[in-house]
Structure 1
């Protein structure tokens, strides 16, 4: 099944979240994804509000930067959200932007080591285990959550580079790929993730979920807005990156990512999207109608 979502970009003021969330709920959007980008908005605070304002909408946070957050705190917040809103939350953790981490004095010498230690500790805490760890970065002394989730939730990792993608396969339950991933990039990521899973002996545990952002522009000036954002990000030369056009064009781009191995495709509006509420209605209504819910991934 191809799940379809949309992003609330934190370039929008926090007070813009409620009307967009209500529009998403009313339109039947499956998933709304939030970012914890420095120094814009808190992913956990925004997720909690979005979940409280809705009854059905699934909310993802992709991603929470691990250098910025003690693993015990993140696990407490995750457990609270999963108990308050069971089945409606997905959280991803990752390196964060290293320049931002340096600005607040938490840039690690080894981001990979930190992420590995963090994933191992967080997943154990959310399983209800008592954790003692004396790692390079994660140090816990008999820490256990008093209110672990009723079920064991998935913890996803954000990844771009080969080593991080292999690590995600080894230690996470799923992977979030940013909007720099073309269909070929998704295929390559799947291979690297599976290498990590094989190395950790995890290939028998079922499918590793892959979430992919797709930079999307629609309506008046869509092609120009998409091109401008790709130029700002230095990605204008990457083939098959982003999509501009009507619902048919967007649905075809979604299907290409699904065929490459994406389980969830999250449409990411441009930073200057003129109608954010209209964008989520477009995704939930027009695009959803054209994307098969039972699309099969070629990556299997």
Structure 2
């Protein structure tokens, strides 16, 4: 099933979150995704607030940086939120932005090694298992959650480079791609993640979640999005110009689904002033995608 969501980016202040979340819930947006960017909003505090404010919205963490968080703490956070709001949290982890990790003294020499140790330990803890491991970065001595989730949530993992993407397939339940990923890159990423999954002997389905920058409106919205792409990527790839009314955006994201994405999460521009309107339009996209 194709899934649609929207992102509340941490470029907006925490006090803007409630209105945006309630607009997403009221408009029928299935999922609202949050980032844990340094040094802005914390992911799990914001996720708990959104889940308390809304009735059916699922909340994705896209993503919590592994170097910044001890794996036992991350498991405790996820387990607590999952038990409070069963089935409504989509936990995600990633390397973190390396310069930010360096700023807080958490940068690791081998992010791949950290991921290879961290994600299996996290998934085992969430499954209620007792974990003892002594790795380069993850060390646990007979650790078991007192209050594991009643239903073990899947853990999605962010990845971009081939080695990281392959590892997300080996250890994660899904791969998260940032905005700026074309449909061609989506297809390549999925193939690489599935290779990693096969290497690990895992045969369950693998999710591919892609963030897609979008702008709702007329020619001015399209021009502003193109300017953003030029500023951040040096070019405005036509495949990444996802702009217009809900019908135009629905058509523009179809290639991402055709390339293998299971979820397309619409990301507002950094300077988006009308988050409530953005969420309402994203809800209409969700309805149109669901009707296909």
Tell me which interval the TM-score lies in, with the shorter structure as reference length: over 0.9
Q: Aligned residue for 1:298?
A: none
Alignment pair present for 1:146 and 2:134? no
Q: For 1:105 and 1:16, how far apart are their aligned partners in 2?
A: 30
Deviation of the 1:225 alpha carbon: 1.6
Alignment pair present for 1:157 and 2:157? yes
Q: Deviations over 1:123-160 (max 9, x none)?
A: 00001011111100001111100000001110010011
Q: Aligned residue for 1:217?
A: 215
Q: Aligned residue for 1:13?
A: 13
Q: Aligned residue for 2:270?
A: 271
Q: Aligned residue for 2:242?
A: 243
Q: Aligned residue for 1:78?
A: 78
Aligned length: 291
Stretch of structure 1 that moved more, 225-234 or 88-97: 225-234
Q: Is the 8 A contact 1:214 1:242 kept in 2?
A: no
3-state SS of paired residue (1:151): coil
Q: Deviations over 1:258-278 (max 9, x none)?
A: 111011110001001121010
Deviation of the 1:288 alpha carbon: 2.4
Unaligned runs of 5+ in 1: 296-300
Deviation of the 1:216 alpha carbon: 0.2
Runs (4 or more) in structure 1 with deviation over 6 Å come to: none
Deviation of the 1:247 alpha carbon: 1.6
Deviation of the 1:237 alpha carbon: 4.9
3-state SS of paired residue (1:32): strand
Q: Is the 8 A contact 2:4 2:265 kept in 1?
A: yes
Unaligned runs of 5+ in 2: none
Q: For 1:143 and 1:236, how far apart are their aligned partners in 2?
A: 49
Q: Is the 8 A contact 1:179 1:242 kept in 2?
A: no
Alignment pair present for 1:98 and 2:77? no
Q: Deviations over 1:30-74 (max 9, x none)?
A: 000000011111011100000011111111010000000000000
Q: For 2:64 and 2:214, how far apart are their aligned partners in 1?
A: 23
Q: For 1:270 and 1:245, how far apart are their aligned partners in 2?
A: 13
Q: For 1:25 and 1:198, how far apart are their aligned partners in 2?
A: 37
Q: Is the 8 A contact 1:36 1:43 kept in 2?
A: yes
- Scaled by the length of structure 1, the TM-score of the pair is 0.94
Q: For 1:190 and 1:238, how far apart are their aligned partners in 2?
A: 21
Deviation of the 1:282 alpha carbon: 0.4
1:1-300 paired onto structure 2 within 5 Å:
1-202=1-202, 204-205=203-204, 207-220=205-218, 221-285=220-284, 287-292=285-290
Deviation of the 1:248 alpha carbon: 2.0
- Scaled by the length of structure 2, the TM-score of the pair is 0.97
3-state SS of paired residue (2:233): coil
Q: Deviations over 1:229-261 (max 9, x none)?
A: 212312425451241222222101221111110
